[in-house]
Amino acid sequence: MYGRRLATIEEIIALVSPDSDEELSTLEAWADNHGIPVHAVEVGDDIDSVYAPEREYLGVTLGGDGTYLEGVRQFSPKQIPILGINAGTLAFLASISPCDLTDALDEALRGGATVDRRQQLHVAADRVNCTGINDVMIEHEPPEDPVDRKITRLQVFADGEFVGEYEGSGLAVSTPTGSTGVSLSAGGPVHYPMNNSSLQIVPLHTHQMGVRPLIVDADTTIKVVAEGPANLLVDGGRVQSRLEEDDVVTIGGADTSALVVNTSYDDDFFTSISEKLGWSVREDRHDRGDADRLVETEDDGEVVRQAKQVAEEAAKAAGEALRELHGQTESVEYKSDKSDIVTEADYKADNIITTVIENEFPDHGIRSEESDERVGSSEYTWLIDPLDGTGNFAHGNPNYSISIALVEDEEPVMGVVYAPETDEMFAAIDGEGATLDGLPISTTDRATLDECMLLSGYDPNGAFLSHCYQETRGVRSLGSAALNLCFLAAGSADALWEFDTYPWDVAAGVVIAREAGATLTTANGDRYDPIAAHEARNELVGSNGAVHETLLRHLDEKQDLQAPKQTSAD
């Protein structure tokens, strides 16, 4: 879940602690003004009664960190992002003041918030099977006679390797989020928690001078064997159990992250630890120090550059929604409803992208394959295909993409194509070159057909394949025109042919391919116009440039490529 996806929130589930009536009333009034239903659930009750998997939710906690931890427990398995309102006292997780509640919600609904994926841990033992966002503590059980022995011995293993025997009052295994609690008090390091997937093993009041905290990757399986009775507590006692001698506790990174919403109204991490823990490196300094003078100010007039950033963020957010639905297409439960899944995928991705663009550029026009055209008042129009390659998507094939282009006065000037399954981001601005995941890309320089691999789009009678296969190193048909253009741009193919094209399918890929050095024409050799009207077939021939004239001559000899126009499945 990326922050931009928050712009399509459909409902809110609020976990409400006692004495939070005023905050709940404020939340409900705001939501009513925005037409968003609010389901209020008291802390301790289950959210399943108000949750529907097909809806887009925001989870809001009204209370302190205890309420927030309960929100993590219930929201995280359902991958609902969490916004914490601090209606309690001291809080690290729920850090938004009630007076900023509506402003923070406005920012989230505009898609202006960010979402951090916080590492959780999973704990399994006799009578315990749970997750936690902070820590698990295994500590000695107080003896009935105060003069009896007050220590515990714990044997620890990491991925089957014996770490050692810990003797003292116990140990804590914490996530980066939990590093400012028990672990810090016991002498462990503070971990920056954003997108940090590590765990640390911290001895509690150890009897050995040389024992220090140990950092491991979240994929590490930690096993702790109790040599006597001990108490097990997860997240400060939200789950607790008594261990007997030889009981084994298994701890590792959880499969799901906690999705933490951050707005400009939250305290950032270092401000929090400075104000709440006396982080001494900030003493006598402003909260932001000299950071402002280290950041270069962007020119607000650079509309196209801003548009590229917004397009990339919108594509990432929409891509996550598509990945979630793509995994259902081949499951036994959903096989009979593939068309419904594809329809939902188109709608969700389109809704995310168009909502983000409307929020950021209210005067721009928008043309999408999946929704009604919106006419803008500026010279800019967006062309969007939220799911290029629907046939692939419906069959569980990973070759589908999201295509977003910005057009200025009928000429594409910016293009972004995102492949969700491979997490590849192709992008270009007219005159500034093309990139793949931020790195420059360019076409190949092969000059003869027998050296080249070709890509084919919709080929109604198989003519392109039959006429070009023997003369080249092969013809591939991948099912996504946008990806075909990007693969040409990146040098994964040397040339391509599309029987017919539509602006939303190819406008972004055209910018990317041209900026990478590709030559794009019609079969007659005329400059290809991706915005051309469709009174006639809009054919596309693309190449690395070096082989272009040879390819055009070869196609000109094959008159049966001019087949009657048919409708592609995509």
Binding site for Mg(2+), by residue number, is: 369, 385, 387-388, 505
Task: Provide the annotated binding site for NAD(+).
Answer: 65-66, 134-135, 150
Binding residue ranges: 65-66, 134-135, 150, 369, 385, 387-388, 505
Closest residue by Cα to residue 513 from 489, 530, 534: 489
Q: Order of strands across the sheet with 540-543?
A: 475-476, 454-456, 495-498, 540-543, 519-521
C-alpha angle with apex 100: 97 to 101, nearest 5 degrees? Answer: 90
* Structural contact between residues 136 and 172, judged by C-beta atoms closer than 8 angstroms: yes
Q: Which residues contact 133 (CB under 8 A, 6 or more apart)?
A: 69, 72, 76, 93, 118, 120, 121, 175, 177, 178, 235, 258
- The strands making up 114-118's β-sheet, listed across from edge to edge, are 38-42, 11-16, 57-63, 82-86, 258-262, 114-118
- 65 counts as catalytic: yes
* Contact (CB, 8 A) for 191 and 213: no
Residues in the chain: 570
Whole-Å CA distances, 203 to 158, 190, 220: 15, 15, 18
Give the three-class secondary structure for 74: helix
49, with CB counted inside 10 A (0-12, 13-18, 19+), is: exposed
- What is the C-alpha separation between 494 and 541, in angstroms, rounded? 11
How many Å is the maximal CA-CA distance in the chain? 99
Among candidate residues 19, 48, 65, 266, the one labeled active-site is 65
- Catalytic residue numbers read 65
